[in-house]
Structure 1
Amino acid sequence: MSKYDAFLVSPEVHERTVELADGSTHILHFRELPVSVYRKFQIAEQSADEDVRAGSMARLIAASLCEPDGKPALTYDQALQLKPGPCNALFAAILSLHGVGDKGKASPSAETNGSGTSSPSPSAKQ
Structure 2
Amino acid sequence: MLDKSFFVSETIHEKEVVLGDGSKHILYFKELPAIEYSKFHIAQSSADEGVKAGSIAKLIASSLCDKDGKPAITYEQSIKLKPEPMNAIFVALMEVNKIAGKGQPETSGSGT
Which of structures 1 and 2 has the bigger CA Rg? 1
**Shared fold (TM-score, shorter chain, > 0.5):** yes
Residues 84-95 of structure 1 mapped to structure 2, 5 A cutoff: 84-95=83-94
Tell me the TM-score normalized by structure 1.
Answer: 0.79
Is it true that 1:36 corresponds to 2:43 in the alignment?
Answer: no
Q: Distance in 1 between matches of 2:105 and 2:50?
A: 19
Partner deviation per Cα, 1:67-108 (whole Å, 9 max, x = no partner): 101000000000000000000000000111111134x34379
Q: Distance between the aligned counterparts of 2:25 and 2:16, measured in 1?
A: 5
Q: Could you say which structure has the higher helix fraction?
A: 2
The answer to whether 1:106 aligns with 2:109 is no
3-state SS of paired residue (1:55): helix
Separation (CA, whole Å) in 1 of partners of 2:21 and 2:73: 22
Q: Under a length normalisation based on structure 2, what TM-score does the superposition of the two structures give?
A: 0.89
Other-structure match for 1:122:
none
Distance 1:44 1:52 in 2: 6
RMSD between superposed Cα atoms in Å: 1.6
Q: Comparing both chains, which one has the higher relative contact order based on Cα–Cα distances under 8 Å and sequence gaps of 6 or more?
A: 2
Counterpart amino acid of residue 24 in structure 1:
S
Q: CA–CA distance in 1 between the matches of 2:20 and 2:6?
A: 33
Q: Which residue of 1 aligns with 2:16?
A: 17
Stretches of structure 2 lacking an aligned partner (at least 5 in a row): 107-112
Residue 87 of structure 1 aligns with an amino acid whose one-letter code is M
Quote the offset at 1:3 in angstroms. 5.5
Aligned residues: 106
Q: Does 1:67 align with 2:50?
A: no
The answer on whether the counterparts of 2:87 and 2:103 sit within 8 Å (CA) in structure 1 is: no
Tell me, which stretches of 5 or more residues in structure 1 are unaligned? Answer: 109-126
